[in-house]
Amino acid sequence: MARPSAYLHAAIITGLVFALIGALRLVTFNVHYFDPFNKGIKDYEVTDILFSQLRDAERVRREDRVVLVHVARADRAEVARLIDRIAAASPAVIGVDILFPGRKEPAKDSLLAASLRAHPGVVLAANLGAYDEERRGIRSMVVSDTLFSAHAVNAYTNFLAGTDRTVRLFNPFLTTLDSVERTAFSIALVERYAPDRVGSLRWHKGDAAVRINYSGDYRSFLRIDGQVVLQADDEELSVFRDRIVIVGFIDSQARDAPIEDRYFTPLNPVYTGRSLPDMYGAVIHANIITMLLDGNYIFELPGWLEGLLVLAFVYVNVLIIYHLYHRLPDSYHGVTRVMQLVELFCFFFLVALLFYHFRLKIDFTVGFLGLILAYDIVMIYESFVRKRIPYLNRTEHV
């Protein structure tokens, strides 16, 4: 019987590495005791460091196609006056990132309804309903009271990541269980500004989620307080002409600012162990709009290709470490550790380079973890597993 080759040993060790990674994920992600660890690991990506720390804020251009209007409270009469004033300046489209459920004060409700009737192209916020576990889908979309929604375009503003997870993706379109295709808020706005951009997105992505390429925080956009708009003269309102206007709650970024409608994003300056959400929903929509208008998407490798690359990376490293174990027994520890550190640095730099310059995202987290574990798994295999299997324990020169 032929002796098992080093390639076979490396294949077995590689299998053990991935088995251990799978076991670690199974244990940590499903045992309540590890919840604090889970939240950090599940909600972290290497590319967050690029968004958070390595982007040059001075090089991010100011977006001049989107104007943000902050309203401190959703007073319906005030929103109605804002819509009227902004619409008078001939914007491309107005989006109101506020949901108006039910009817409240008749006088104020009438003012808002009249404003929406006068400007039927306004996009109103809506919310996707609860996820149905049995039917595996979103049941429906919750819109504002019919007094308002009947005279506006209704589009969902919520992100499926929720408020406790980092918002990296958004769904441009989503078909609910009532067989109606729903449209995201940012998509509805771009549809009225540059419809060709939405058409190409539908063609290339369909109903799939799209990764958001953030261009900047609220400082990258023109932000005006609603009270300033109400008091401005006609010449000052010209800032809205032919632009996309988003009306919503967009307070300051101070630590004591309200966290209502704020989310975690990759631009958070604290990219691990975050404590405070860093971006208001309206600003996320503005980032999505910028990405759509520029066609500046993040590209991702197909899952099968990424998996093959990770498998090949781990296998080659296991093979090298296996040879080092047998040929350099006295210096195995030092040489292997140096090799791991150099590789981790080089591949991290490569992943960062591809993302930063080519917008190509490669998730190599499993590969990096496999490289780290390979050192110990090789020793476990040689001292424990191999000795207990006669065929694998045949004398071999490597």
Domain locations in the chain as residue ranges: 6-42+301-388, 54-297
CA distances from 344 to 258, 327, 373 (A): 40, 23, 13
Q: Which one is predicted more confidently, 178 or 62?
A: 178
pLDDT tens profile 84-94: 999 999 999 99
79-83, 175-179, 357-361: range with highest mean pLDDT:
79-83
Residue 161: pLDDT over 90: no
3-state secondary structure of 123: strand
pLDDT at 32: 41
pLDDT tens profile 196-214: 999 878 776 667 889 999 9
H helices present in 206-302, as ranges: 226-231, 281-294
CA distances from 371 to 62, 90, 360 (A): 41, 58, 22
pLDDT at 349: 87
- Given a contact cutoff of 8 angstroms between Cβ atoms, the answer to whether 246 and 97 are in contact is yes
- Contacts from 134-139 at CB under 8 Å and sequence distance 24+? 135/177, 137/176, 137/177, 138/174, 138/176, 138/177, 139/176, 139/177, 139/178
pLDDT at 38: 41
- Given a contact cutoff of 8 angstroms between Cβ atoms, the answer to whether 132 and 121 are in contact is no
Q: Which one is predicted more confidently, 183 or 36?
A: 183
Q: Which one is predicted more confidently, 217 or 311?
A: 311
Tell me how long the chain is. 398
Sign of the Cα torsion 299, 302, 307, 313 reads negative
Give the Cα separation of 157 and 282 in Å (integer). 9
Give the Cα separation of 350 and 114 in Å (integer). 56
pTM over 0.75: yes
Residue 136 region by backbone torsions, left for phi larger than 0, else alpha for psi between -120 and 50, else beta:
left
Give the Cα separation of 140 and 149 in Å (integer). 15
As a whole number, the mean pLDDT across the chain is 85
pLDDT tens profile 245-278: 999 999 865 555 666 778 888 888 776 655 688 8
User: pLDDT confidence of 29, banded at 50, 70, 90?
Assistant: very low
Inter-axis angle of helices 195-205 and 281-294, to 10 degrees?
Answer: 90
Among the ranges given (8-17, 91-100, 287-296, 343-352), the one the predictor scored with the smallest mean pLDDT:
343-352
